[in-house]
A and B are shown apart, each in its own frame.
Chain A
Amino acid sequence: MPKNKKTKSIAFCPGCGHIIILQTLNRVLQKLQKADRAAIGLDIGCSLLAWDMLPISTFQTHHGRAVPTMVGFEKAREKSIAVAYTGDGGAYSIGLQSLLWAARRNNPILVIVVNNTIYGMTGGQTAPTSLRGQVTDTAPAGHDELPMLGPELVRELNGQAYIARTAANEPVILAEYLERAIKATEAGNFALVEVLSYCPTNWRMKGVESNNHLNKLKDTFKTGEIL
């Protein structure tokens, strides 16, 4: 890769899934030769650490506000690839209203939701995707609700959108889905790709254990294109 296409030093924790997801997004945009037309609005949370990692325009927004920011960006700049990059808390909790409405209106933006079932940046609190029984900083006796299934919810609102779920340990499929999602936005449709991801720091797990846990999440969060 030419020098200016490379990614920079990485601020994420060792073993964090964000690194794989962001590098895959970069590879896809470079392959499609669309990196110059792309802009990534970053949610606040661990997503914000991506601000200077990629050779792509990025800007931090506020927590839960990456989606409406990119709605405005896309309407202002035609033929741009407007990406909102967010965690599960930003997408499905504090920013849910804007996510649902962007989907309903079929705004042609790509929303990437990194789902690790926990709030990472603030240190392991319950997320809208936390599993029933999951012990978190704010549910020490175990979470007592079912996790939110964001992509399935969005599907109900928009029949034309491209919606898929994959995982950080399936980078080839992730690349495929991201490519299709980008093409969907170019065709004028909303796209959402949820990526199940590792958070070894807040899961308090080591490498193999983390990977096993990620695979186990797929029992609850079904991977594949959501039709």
Chain B
Amino acid sequence: MKNKREFLSGSDVVVRAVRDAGAVSMYGYPITPGTEILSKWIREAARDKRMKYLQTEDEIAAGFAVAGAVLAGEKSFTATAGPGTILMQDALSMAEGMRLPFVAIIVQRGGPSSGTVIYSQQEVVLATHGGNGEGMRIVYSPSSLTELYDMTRRAFNDAARYRFPALVLTDGYLVKTKQVISNFKKIKNIPAPKIVSRTGHVNLRNIFTVEEELNEEILRAQKDYVKMSKTIAKSESYLVADADTIIIAHGIVGRVARDAVDKLRARGLRVGLWRPLTLAPLDVRGFAKTRRAKNFVVAESSAGQLADLLKNRISNCPNFSTYFRPALGIETDEIVKFVMKKYAKK
């Protein structure tokens, strides 16, 4: 097959990935910066009659329509942001409780409240643990358009295979980025599970009379989640082997931090990067590779949501200095300056 180069935006990439994953329906409600995914899906649906959609009355209805579609055995998804991510927790909680292969693209914007409309990394807690349960979800954090494609494909596959809701946690900067992309990765699709059969009948519940019954359900799900984690938890370790200082960052800040590592190395500092590709489950074993370093820096566009995740998940979590910029973008030179000031020998 010949090399195919295309000029695509993040929202184009999402729609492509979802279609390549075999999903045929989208339910959504307009909210910046996720709206473009819905409008692009609808525009493509005008050309391809297999594609279904509904602009619902709110994000709650969008989430439950996705739940209904996946119960019927269809691959379906939604995309939302900020206040919409809050409303989406209702359906996500049901998806967690009933082990539905629910897929959502979360396009982070600034919070709290209506906040700002393009960017933050403040929806980490909502994505990983926003429901009234134990947070058994799969959450990817892409740093580039190619990762946005791969992770969206993997979200559908992992949701279908492991039966946990899968979220791609991105932001408005990445979804609005436009660049030339050549050839997407080939990924084999896992078919959607047929939950409610066409012949015979099933009776499914999410509410239990006896506490022990629910406890057993949770323990069973937890066991599955831990087993799955060994396979799907992923992270990137960049120049960590000899590093004294490790920068920890996710999503597009992770990409910026990688550039910062190169710049700091050029100045003679032994710096590396650890970037979680999955925020849930977190790649705890991957993090072990960094443990010979003396210094750790967490850089994120929130007041510590990633840092808290690390503290909660990693046993004997090292102390780290923090470069928190809630609701602000972070540039390479800011991280370089911060690390130089803190760790370069005077």
Contacts and interface: CB of A to CB of B under 8 A. Distances in A.
Interface of A: 35-37, 39, 41, 44, 48, 51-52, 55-62, 65, 68-77, 80, 82, 97-98, 100-101, 105
Interface string B55-79: 0111011111111111111101000
B35 to A, nearest CB: 19
Contact of A72 (B65, B90, B201, B207): B65
A51 B196 CA distance: 13
B206 A57 contact: no
A207 B201 CA distance: 34
Contact of B196 (A59, A61, A97): A59
B69 A76 contact: yes
Contacts of B94: 61-62, 65
Contacts of B200: 36
Interface of B: 25, 27, 52, 54, 56-58, 60-74, 76, 90-91, 93-94, 98, 196-207
The CB with the most chain B CB atoms within 10 A, among A65, A68, A100, is that of A68
A70 B71 CA distance: 10
Contacts of A37: 198
A105 B61 CA distance: 13
The CB with the most chain B CB atoms within 10 A, among A35, A58, A82, is that of A58
A36 B54 CA distance: 26
Contacts of A74: 68
Contacts of A41: 68
Nearest to B100: A59
Nearest to A82: B68
Contact of B205 (A60, A77, A98, A101): A60
The CB with the most chain B CB atoms within 10 A, among A48, A58, A76, is that of A76
Given A69-B67, A72-B67, A52 B203 contact: yes
Contact of A51 (B62, B70, B205): B205
12 contacts: A39-B72, A51-B203, A51-B205, A52-B203, A56-B201, A57-B197, A62-B206, A65-B94, A68-B56, A68-B65, A76-B70, A77-B198
B73 A76 contact: yes
A44 B94 CA distance: 12
B201 A57 contact: yes
A72 to B, nearest CB: 3
Contacts of B64: 61-62, 65, 68-69, 71-72, 98
The CB with the most chain A CB atoms within 10 A, among B57, B65, B198, is that of B65
Nearest to B27: A72
A71 to B, nearest CB: 5
Contact of A71 (B54, B199, B203): B54
B98 A36 contact: no
A62 B205 contact: no
B92 to A, nearest CB: 11
B204 A59 contact: yes
Contacts of A100: 57
Given A62-B90, A77-B72, A97-B57, A69 B207 contact: no
Contacts of A73: 68-69, 71-72, 196
Contacts of B72: 39, 72-73, 76-77, 80
Contacts of A72: 25, 27, 64-69, 71-72, 76
Contacts of A98: 57, 60-61, 64
B200 to A, nearest CB: 7
The 4 A-B residue pairs whose C-beta atoms are closest, nearest first, are A72-B68, A72-B65, A73-B68, A76-B72
Contacts of A70: 68
Contact of B68 (A51, A52, A55, A71): A71
A77 B73 contact: yes
B205 A57 contact: no
Contacts of B93: 62
A214 to B, nearest CB: 27
A75 B65 contact: yes
Contacts of A105: 54
A61 B67 CA distance: 9
Contact of B25 (A35, A76, A82, A101): A76
B133 to A, nearest CB: 13
Given A72-B69, A73-B68, A60 B206 contact: yes
Contacts of A56: 201
A68 B61 contact: yes
A11 to B, nearest CB: 8
Contacts of A39: 71-72, 196
A21 B84 CA distance: 36
A57 B57 contact: no
A59 B71 contact: yes
A60 B90 CA distance: 14
A68 B206 CA distance: 17
Nearest to A65: B64
Contacts of B73: 76-77
A171 B128 CA distance: 48
Nearest to B65: A72
